[in-house]
Structure formats: structure tokens, C-alpha cells
Chain A
Amino acid sequence: MSARLVVTLAIVGAVAGALVAVFARATAPAIERAREAALHKALAEVLPAHANAPQREAVWVAGRTIYPARDAGGRLVGLAFVATAPDGYSGAIQLLLGLSPDGRIWAVRVLEHRETPGLGDQITRADWLGGFRGRGLHDTRWEVKKRGGDIDEFTGATITPSAVARAIGRALAWYAAHAEEIRRALDAKGRMRKKQAQGGAR
């Protein structure tokens, strides 16, 4: 009798597992495309007007992917990378930072969060995120006002905006420490692409 119970559960588990595995494989390309499209849209929002494809010219520096924005002449007008605030109210918050080449904030978007609706999720408000434009590593104390910083918190939420503010501060410090390395990597990639483009034209 008990053998029948075990066999039944094993079969149910195997069939259900197989169904999930097949479906996961089938949807993987579509999920990848959806993520790429979402990233593309977010990059367009955080970078200054550009003429290139930041996703295709991305470079990998010290554990982060850097997406460069270039004008029609190939000059660097901005760059973007992902920063994570691990200490949100309900888990990690993923941010996409857009910087001008001098290391100041151009724009910030929230990619992923699980913060409380109506309270913590106000970090996605365009007017609040807009307040970061032009701020740099040294002219801002990257903490909310309530905790002695320069960033506004909002009614009912301190932990979430504080996590975001500190994450941006850390990301700017990281950028300052690696600016030279990033510039070299981007230049190398830019020369390579230019060469390929000329080669293709001939």
C-alpha cells in the first residue's frame, strides 16, 4: 500500500517537474527579450540624448556593467550602471543610475523593489528622483534629512529613501574610485567599434 503512495507522489512530482522544465525552456528567450527591452527603456530614461546603442557598447569594469551614451561625433555624454540598495524595508532595491561624464547624477530610475505600496514605493516618484539631478559625491550628504543628510524623506517612510540615498552615495564613490579605469575601458571599446564600422564600410 505505502509503495503505491510513494510511486504516485513520485509520478506526480516528475510530471509536474517536467512540465515546468519544458515551459521554463520555452519562455526563456521571451523573458530575456522582455528584460532587454525593459533595460533599453530604462537606459533611454536615465541617459542624456545619445546617438549610439548603450547596450551594445557596454563594458565590464570591477564587477559592474557600464553603459555609455555617445553623441553623433562619438563623444561620451554620459554613462549608466546598476546600483543595489540591499537594505530596503522589504529587501533589495535595484537602481539604474545615469551619470554625466564628470560623475554627477543625470537621472535615476528604480528597476526593482518590493517596498510598501503608498509608503516606501514613493521612491519611484519622478519628482523625488528628479531631485538628484546635478548632485555629486562631495556636494551632498547621501542620507535622508531625518538622519542628518541632504535627501528628502517622505511621510511614513524613512528606511526606504535612506537605503536609496546611501546606495547612490556608495555608487558615486565607487565611480570616483574607478573613473580612470572606466574611461580607459570605454575608449578601448569605442576605438574597436570605430575600426569595425570602417572595416564594414569598405
Chain B
Amino acid sequence: MSHAHGVAATAADTSPRAIFARGIWRENTIFAHLLGMCPLLGVTTTTKNGLWMGAATTLVLVGSNAVISLVRRLIPREVRIPAYITIIAAFVTVVDLAMDAWAHEMHKILGLFIPLIVVNCAIMGRAEAFASKHGVVPSLLDGLAVGLGFTLALALLGFVRELLGEGAVFGHALWAEYPKALGFILPPGAFLALAFLLAAIRRFANKEA
């Protein structure tokens, strides 16, 4: 899967404008590639959780993309995957420690999902498809763009699930006596909300094209 996209990405132009258009919209990790489903289903019960998870992932993406791009000619092909994973894991640990220190409450809420960023295939995907084939600046921008696209998707899904599941926006209840819709709070709700969001986006995108 990532190989096919990798080919497409290599051929694409590397102007910042094109990188951001791809990362945020045309090749959005969630909406176009359907990668990174684990955090998507796990933490998007509220907008705030989605934003924080997206921000943590973006930091890792920017760091790992930049470093992998820097060392791309030094790492032999045969061991590139373990080398990339080690680099990604280092950045994830740094972000995990930083959140524990300076965003303690959110660190507690997101819990295990922060260390699990290591296995978010979207990050490995960008390392393999983009950072290993491009210079530092485009790779950095690519990490930022893909991260923003991922954050956008997580926040959007969190918004929909929080609204339908708990009747709240950013933690503020809209109705005093809202009957909690458990379906939207639990993982199946993430699938359902995602399906409707995807359908809406595809329809919008088709019109655009």
C-alpha cells in the first residue's frame, strides 16, 4: 500500500504549496489513505483529545521526517526499516516525556496511545515514501503537512463523536439532560462517524474534480 503511494509521492512536485495540498487534503492520512486507524478509533471521543493526539503525532512526524531525510544516504537499504523505527521511537519517547512534564493532565488521558505513535503506519509511511527520497526542508514540510492533515481528521471526528455521543462541544454540554449515545463514544461509533464523514468528503471531492 505505502509502496504504491510512495511512487506517486516521488513523482509529485515538492513546492511547499503542493506538499501542503497533498498532506492536508489530497493524500490525507485518514480521509484518503485510511492509515493510522488505531489512534483514530482510540482517542477521538472528544475534540480536545483529537487535537492533542494530532499535535503529538505531528511533532513526531516533523522530527522523524527531518532526521531520516538527513541520514537517508548513510543508511544501507537492507537495514533502513529498523533504523527508521529506532529514530521514530526516540522521537515518540521524547514527546511522551515532554507531555508527562508539561501537559500532565492530557498525558494521563491519552495514556498508552502516545507510546503507540511508534506503530502508527502513517509515520513509517512518510519515512519510506517521502523523507528517504527528499531533502531536509521538503521532508520537514511534508511531516508538518501530513501531521496537520492527521490532526484535522482526528479533531473533526472527535468533534462529531463528542457532539453526538455526549451532546457537548469542547467539553461544554449543549443540553442539560442529554441522553448519552454510547454507540458514538465506543469504537463502533468511530467507524460509523468516519464512514459518514468519508462519504461526505468523497462526494465533495468528486464535485470538485
Task: Tell me, yes or no, whether B108 is within 8 Å of chain A by CB.
Answer: yes
Give Cα A13 to B100, complex, Å.
23
Shortest Cβ distance from B181 into A: residue? A118
B185 touches A13 (CB 8 A): no
Flag if A31 contacts B97 (CB, 8 Å): yes
Query: In the assembled complex, which residues on chain A have CB atoms less than 8 Å from the CB atom of B87?
Result: 12, 16
Cβ of A117 and Cβ of B45 under 8 Å apart?
A: yes
Q: Which residue of A lies closest to B97 (CB)?
A: A27
Assess the B101–A27 pair: CB atoms within 8 A.
yes
List, in ascending order, chain B residues with CB within 8 A of A17's CB: 90
Known: A9-B83, A12-B75. A19 touches B90 (CB 8 A): yes
- Measured in the bound complex, the distance between the Cα atoms of B184 and A117 in whole Å is 10
Tell me which of A34-42, A45-53, A67-75, A175-183 binds B.
Answer: A34-42
Residues of chain A within 8 A of B98, CB atoms compared: 23, 27
| Residue numbers in A under 8 Å from B180 (CB-CB) | 118
Q: Known contacts being A16-B86, A38-B104, is A8 close to B94, with CB within 8 Å? A: no
Residues on A with C-beta less than 8 A from B78 are 5
Q: Inter-chain contact count A-B, CB under 8 Å?
A: 71
Residues of A with C-beta under 8 A to B102: 30, 34
- Inter-chain contact B104/A8, CB cutoff 8 Å: no
B105: which A residues are within 8 A, CB to CB?
A: 38
Query: How far is B37's CA from A184's CA once the two chains are assembled, in angstroms?
Result: 55
* Residue A116 lies at the interface, judged by CB distance under 8 Å to chain B: yes
| Residues of chain A with a CB closer than 8 A to B108's CB | 38, 112
For residue A35, give the distance in angstroms from its CB to the closest CB of chain B: 7
- Binary interface profile of A, 104-120, with partner B (CB < 8 Å = 1, else 0)? 00000000101011110
The 8 closest A-B pairs by CB, nearest first: A118-B185, A30-B101, A16-B90, A34-B104, A27-B101, A27-B97, A31-B101, A12-B83
B residues near A (Cβ < 8 Å) are 45, 71, 74-76, 78-79, 82-83, 86-87, 89-90, 93-94, 97-98, 100-102, 104-105, 108, 111-112, 165, 180, 182, 185-186
For this complex, 19 residue pairs linking A to B, each with C-beta atoms less than 8 Å apart, are A8-B75, A8-B76, A8-B79, A12-B75, A12-B87, A16-B86, A16-B89, A19-B90, A19-B94, A20-B90, A24-B93, A27-B101, A34-B102, A34-B104, A117-B45, A117-B185, A117-B186, A119-B182, A156-B182
